[in-house]
Copies of this chain bind each other. A is one copy, B any other.
Amino acid sequence: MNRARLEAFSDGVFAVAITLLAFNLAVGGPGAHHPTLAAQLAGHWPAFAAYTISFATIGIIWVNHHALLRNFAEIDRALLFANLLLLFFVVAIPFTTTTIAAYLRAGGGSASLAAALYQGVFEGMAVSFTLLFWWAIRRDHLQVPLTPGQARQATIRFGIGNLGYIIGIGIAFISPPASLALSGLVAVYYIFEQTPARAQRPPGHGGPATTTAASDPAPAEQ
């Protein structure tokens, strides 16, 4: 199994899933039984919030997926199925996004369940990604091995994401909107959190291949 086709298939799934998110935004047509477009859009705010957060989350996982796979020396059958597990959760995101958009304002147990489901699928995705990562470093499948410091850094980053989603599942049963907001904060954290790891890399480590961000072996932070 060459890496190119694994990436092509994964990219296809990421691209379709991220584009289908916007289906969620559809409003009803004009008519006697529908309010004005402005009223519909205003009432539709959970759909826009969930669309934005899900888009950012899939975008980030795609960036990290790419960074991780670039550093793989070898791709075996176990990794293919671990990757399919990751995609299994990615594909479910448009569903959980639609569900939280529909139920967030309904309140009660349904809103909590929708929010917990939304966070739960993100958590499944994060756990799958952690599996991919640990499997790679345990089996020495990386082209450029991580230093112990980098592995610790990466573990801390994974932990923060996983912890964030688990806390989010808990908060879902107290305040579904707060749970949604937390998943947005996790996305923002991952967008900005990478500079420290790069700054800590000892100069010259790994030779010329590491002089650009493109070949950084450690950005697998989620």
Question: A residues engaging B (CB < 8 A)?
Answer: 1-2, 5, 7-9, 11-23, 25-27, 29-30, 36-38, 41, 52, 55-56, 59, 62-63, 66-67, 70, 74-77, 80-81, 84, 87-88, 91-92, 94-95, 98-99, 102-103, 106, 108-110, 113-114, 117, 191, 194, 212-214, 219
How many copies of this chain does one complex carry? 4
Whether B9 contacts A13 by the Cβ 8 Å rule is no
Please determine whether B212 and A18 come into contact, CB atoms closer than 8 angstroms. no
CB–CB A11/B16 < 8 A = no
Residues from chain B with Cβ under 8 Å of A18 in the complex: 13, 87, 91
**A110 adjacent to B9 (CB under 8 Å):** no
Q: List 15 A-B contacts (CB under 8 A).
A: A9-B11, A9-B15, A16-B20, A18-B87, A18-B91, A19-B20, A22-B95, A26-B99, A30-B102, A30-B106, A37-B99, A38-B110, A56-B84, A63-B80, A76-B214
A143 to chain B, nearest CB (A): 14
Cβ–Cβ < 8 Å partners of A66 in chain B: 1, 5
When the two chains form their complex, are residues A13 and B13 in contact, meaning their CB atoms are under 8 A apart?
A: no
Q: Pick the contact of A11: B12, B26, B212 (CB < 8 A).
A: B12
By the criterion CB–CB under 8 Å, are A16 and B19 in contact? yes
The docked-state distance in angstroms from the alpha carbon of A151 to that of B211 is: 28
Task: Report the bound CA distance from A80 to B64 in whole Å.
Answer: 11
Q: Which 7 A-B pairs have the closest CB atoms?
A: A12-B15, A37-B110, A30-B106, A16-B19, A59-B84, A29-B102, A25-B95
